[in-house]
């Protein structure tokens, strides 16, 4: 089942994706220690894709909005355990004082676009800065803005609980490694437990072209445990969380030009993975990877830049699922190159900038978002675990 689109609310999580479809299962394997995490993992070439090598990296910072009181420090003894984030309100610690900071910059939550404290901007990410625009974000404040869209300024605040860890290569809004990326991977495990009632959680590992996740380009993996069976998904989209202006009070609009022209909504595609069998040790740990590749040029191929994604057994490194998706082709995810239950095509006016992501600066984020922002009703933690994060370069 492809997950629902959301508004511009998440600090770190993909609002993945379009309309409801048949769910895809992940097996409920047994609990066990994590697999070894080698410093380098080669992915061999296969029909339709070239080889790639992934190198281990360490996230430079963590963030947390409304964390579980039992949330361990990240990382704990060589592993990142992500507990379910609870709920954020205007009284949540960190709302004004920045208890949960990113690289020394204060973070807050989104609800009121112009929120400040004592005349001082409260957030680490701000609207319409050089690190997150274009697109430019506008807000119709109703009577406050004379029922007109006005460009947003000040902190990007958040209204959904989330926790995560970030490896950043871009230089803003915090200092990153400066390493151009062509993809990422993670030795990770999503909880096999299924909860069909709120709170609704999305666990993700993904690349974002800006670390404020406001109108950025993204691609990665998402796990939904509020469908039965649960859903594993590879997705990509452009202009994240953007919506076309509706003219309604309280609504947002994204524009590609600062003079409020060229309105642009988020545009997306995704594929639901088939059922993943347990790995060779009988557990739910896998090596998830994706990288940007190029098809052979004519006459052998069309020369398009594509996504090569896959899942490996973390002990044998045998392939458990692999996929080649071409954002410029229809279908985007052919069954012949991408085993699936269902998928959606990328059907947008603006071509997806796949080639630009080959050697791009940005961030890789792993963690969980509580998209309903509601308190828990019996959850088994951790909801997600990560042994090691990896990147690959052009």
pLDDT in tens, 291-302: 999 998 899 889
- Domain-located, residue 32: no
H or E element in which residue 26 lies: none
- Domain-located, residue 262: no
Instruction: Write the DSSP assignment of 355-384 as a string of letters.
Output: GGGTTB--EEEEEEEETT----SS--S-SE
Q: What is the pLDDT of residue 308?
A: 97
* Residue written as token pair 């059922």: 275
Q: What is the pLDDT of residue 14?
A: 39
With the CA atoms of 64, 68, 73 and 74 taken in that order, what torsion angle do they form, in degrees rounded to the nearest 10? -50
Instruction: Give, as one character, the DSSP assignment of residue 97.
Output: T
Q: Residue 36: how many CB atoms within 10 A of its CB?
A: 10
- Domain-located, residue 377: yes
Alpha-carbon Rg for the chain in angstroms? 20
What's the average pLDDT block by block, 10 residues per block, for the chain (394 residues)? 31 36 39 88 86 94 81 84 84 45 37 34 67 89 82 75 88 84 98 92 95 90 94 95 87 92 93 96 97 92 94 97 95 96 90 96 94 84 96 97
Dist. CA 43–CA 318, nearest whole Å: 10
- Domain-located, residue 126: no
CATH code at position 288: 2.60.120
- Domain-located, residue 31: no
Q: What is the pLDDT of residue 49?
A: 81
Instruction: Give the residue numbers spanning the domain of 92.
Output: 40-113+160-239+268-392
Instruction: Write the DSSP assignment of 108-166 as a string of letters.
Output: ---S-TT-EETTEE--SSBTT-TTT-SSEEEEE-GGGGTTSEEE--SB----SEEEEEE
Contacts of 215 (CB under 8 A, 6+ apart): 132, 133, 134, 135, 137, 239, 240, 241, 242, 254
Q: What is the pLDDT of residue 111?
A: 33
- Domain-located, residue 329: yes
Say whether pTM exceeds 0.75.
Answer: yes
Is 126 in contact with 108 (CB distance < 8 Å)?
no
- Domain-located, residue 173: yes
Is 207 in contact with 220 (CB distance < 8 Å)?
yes
The structural domain count of the chain equals 1
- Domain-located, residue 139: no
> Per residue in 49-58, pLDDT tens?
889 999 999 9
Dist. CA 31–CA 285, nearest whole Å: 9
Is 14 in contact with 204 (CB distance < 8 Å)?
yes
């Amino acid at each position: 089942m492809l997950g629902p689109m959301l508004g511009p609310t998440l600090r770190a999580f993909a609002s993945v994706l379009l309309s409801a479809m048949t769910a895809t299962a992940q097996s409920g394997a047994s609990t066990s220690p994590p697999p070894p995490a080698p410093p380098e993992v080669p992915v061999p070439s296969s029909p339709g894709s070239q080889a790639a090598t992934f190198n281990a990296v360490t996230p430079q910072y963590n963030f947390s909005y409304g964390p579980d009181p039992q949330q361990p420090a990240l990382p704990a003894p060589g592993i990142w355990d992500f507990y379910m984030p609870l709920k954020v309100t205007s009284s949540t610690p960190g709302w004004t004082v920045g208890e949960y900071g990113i690289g020394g910059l204060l973070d807050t939550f989104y609800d009121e676009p112009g929120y400040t404290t004592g005349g001082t901007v409260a957030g680490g990410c701000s609207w319409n800065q050089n690190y997150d625009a274009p697109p430019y974000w506008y807000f119709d404040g109703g009577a406050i803005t004379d029922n007109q869209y006005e460009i947003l300024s000040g902190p990007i605040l958040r209204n959904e609980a989330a926790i995560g860890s970030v490896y950043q290569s871009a230089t803003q809004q915090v200092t990153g490694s400066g390493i151009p990326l062509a993809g990422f991977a993670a030795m990770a495990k999503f909880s096999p437990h299924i909860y069909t009632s709120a709170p609704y959680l999305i666990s993700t590992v993904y690349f974002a072209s800006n670390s404020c996740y406001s109108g950025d380009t993204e691609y990665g993996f998402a796990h939904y445990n509020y469908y039965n069976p649960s859903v594993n998904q590879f997705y990509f989209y452009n202009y994240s969380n953007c919506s076309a202006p509706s003219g309604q009070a309280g609504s947002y609009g994204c524009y590609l030009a600062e003079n409020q022209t060229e309105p642009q909504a988020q545009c997306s595609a995704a594929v639901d993975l088939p059922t993943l069998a347990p790995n060779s040790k009988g557990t739910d740990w896998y090596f998830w990877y994706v990288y940007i590749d190029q098809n052979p040029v004519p006459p052998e191929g069309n020369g398009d830049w594509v996504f090569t994604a896959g899942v490996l057994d973390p002990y044998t490194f045998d392939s458990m699922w692999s996929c080649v998706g071409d954002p410029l082709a229809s279908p985007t995810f052919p069954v012949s190159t991408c085993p699936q239950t269902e998928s959606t095509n990328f059907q947008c006016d603006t071509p997806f900038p796949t080639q630009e992501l080959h050697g791009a600066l940005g961030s890789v984020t792993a963690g969980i978002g509580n998209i309903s922002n509601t308190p828990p009703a019996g959850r088994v933690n951790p909801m997600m675990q990560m042994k090691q994060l990896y990147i690959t370069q052009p």
